[in-house]
Amino acid sequence: MNGINGIEVRNGGLYFDGNDLVGLAKYYGTPLYVMSETIIRDRCRMIKSEFTDKYPDVAAVFASKAFQTLDMCRIVQSEGLGMDVVSGGELYCALKAGFPPERLVFHGNSKTVAEMESAVESGVGRIVADSLYEIHALERIAAARNETVRVLYRVTPGVDSHTHRFISTGGLDSKFGIPLDRSVRDLYMRAVLDSPHLGFMGFHFHVGSQISKNISHLAALGIVLDLIADTKRDYGVETRELNLGGGFAVRYLPDDPDPGVTHFVAPMMEKIKRFCADTGMAMPRVTIEPGRWIVGEAGLTLYTIGSIKEIPGIRTYVGVDGGMPDNIRPALYDAKYFAAIANKAGLPPADIVTIAGKCCESGDILIRDIALPKPESGDILSVFSTGAYNHSMASNYNRLPRPAVVMVREGTHRLSVRRESYEDLLSREL
């Protein structure tokens, strides 16, 4: 288990952040999301040491769509980071947890009027506008309240981020953001500059997710810096803030690269400094939005192995008590994961097997062709790096209750989100 954050092998069993995984499975049941508070806090502190404490007038906000619970909101707040929310539900959760609204950034495309009203009424620090529709709606909302709403424009720089097309967001053909065509740009700038109730702060871009090289970030930044210069020249407007997005990769497989935050932010900050020195412009306030990078490797999922179905000469399917409803990413993105049998951690691999979920879908395969010790019914399977976009994307497909979330820290554990019951599945039905 070398290279997996927080994992130790003790007496043939797996321990995560000091907790016996087999014991957690027996105590809370499976499937079970296990999140390490230690790793989450360590990652938040790395963001501070490598970015917010290193550079003047910068900020980091956690992209909460990766993993948002009341517990997580409180942890992020206590570590001094801001938070990015993309819906009325995420905003409600953050406020319910007591997160300071001025440290919230409201994101997302296709925001509803009701969501924008809630964001303005709650006093979120920034709203990232994604379309003219949103700009005009925000103007009406702000005018009705006689307030000024501070906005950034999300732009699509048109770069190839070399990631799965479903999580690439910075290309020209994207549902996100504002294209940089000159005629389109003028419409957007005039809409804000002519409004007494919208305060233009600057620009935002995000090139995609799970990106291991900084090439696309730097290419996008170069395009947006040119936009900043054009905005000053054409409209006489200084860009006071620049949001660089996130998308920094994490390790899903033991041999995956681990670029770290500095790999991305250091060259981007240097590029911004050079630009400002060359143009005589003031440095904008720079923000980053790590999400997956903070929680991805901080989580794992425990399953109980049930059926073992061998098709001679073809494949052995190992069935578990979860699947697509608790982890849609393999089916959606062809995502790859690494796993181990928690109660056989000291044994060498014996078989090549495929981990099959329990949904009535041929595509419900969690891991294809992984080497494991000989699996048996009742074994506890641990799938690693499931902290991001597992709990937050979970569903009740096939009427499966969503798993509990347990937060662990240095040998202690606590229930963070209780397991759904069958009664919960029917609670909204009349």
**Using CA atoms, how far apart are residues 6 and 429, in angstroms rounded to an integer?**
41
**Using CA atoms, how far apart are residues 107 and 105, in angstroms rounded to an integer?**
6
Q: Integer distance in angstroms from the first to the last C-alpha of the chain? A: 49
Please name every residue paired with 382 in a beta bridge, in sequence order, or none if there are none: 302, 340
What is this structure's pTM? 0.94
Instruction: Please provide the DSSP assignment of 211-278 as one string.
Output: B-SSHHHHHHHHHHHHHHHHHHHHH-----EEE----B---SSTTS---TTHHHHHHHHHHHHHHHHH
Burial class (CB in 10 A: 0-12, 13-18, 19+), 98: exposed
What's the Rg (C-alpha) of the chain?
Answer: 23
**Using CA atoms, how far apart are residues 110 and 379, in angstroms rounded to an integer?**
44
Among residues 44, 93, 359, 360, the one annotated as catalytic is 360
CB 97 within 8 A of CB 74: yes
Please name every residue paired with 150 in a beta bridge, in sequence order, or none if there are none: 199
> What tokens appear for 246 in the block?
């996130």
Q: What is the DSSP letter of 42?
A: H
* pLDDT (0 to 100) of residue 183: 66
* pLDDT (0 to 100) of residue 172: 62
Strand pairing category for 32-36 and 404-409: parallel
Q: How does pLDDT run along the chain (430 residues), one tens digit per residue?
A: 666 889 999 999 999 999 999 999 999 999 999 999 999 999 999 999 999 999 999 999 999 999 999 999 999 999 999 999 999 999 999 999 999 999 999 999 999 999 999 999 999 999 999 999 999 999 999 999 999 999 999 999 877 644 434 334 444 667 778 888 776 778 888 888 888 999 999 999 999 888 989 999 999 999 999 999 999 999 999 999 999 999 999 999 999 988 899 999 999 999 999 999 999 999 999 999 999 999 999 999 999 999 999 999 999 999 999 999 999 999 999 999 999 999 999 899 999 999 999 999 999 999 999 999 999 999 999 999 999 999 999 999 999 999 999 999 999 999 999 999 999 999 999 9
Reduced to 3 states (helix: H, G, I; strand: E, B; else coil), residue 203 is strand
Q: What is the DSSP letter of 6?
A: T
Which residue segments constitute the domains of the chain, with CATH numbers given? 7-36+296-426 (2.40.37.10), 107-290 (3.20.20.10)
* pLDDT (0 to 100) of residue 405: 98
Strand pairing category for 126-129 and 149-156: parallel
- Give 179's contacts (C-beta < 8 A, 6+ positions apart): 155, 156, 158, 172
* pLDDT (0 to 100) of residue 170: 43
Please name every residue paired with 205 in a beta bridge, in sequence order, or none if there are none: none
**Using CA atoms, how far apart are residues 329 and 210, in angstroms rounded to an integer?**
13
Residue 44 appears among annotated catalytic residues: no
* pLDDT (0 to 100) of residue 160: 63
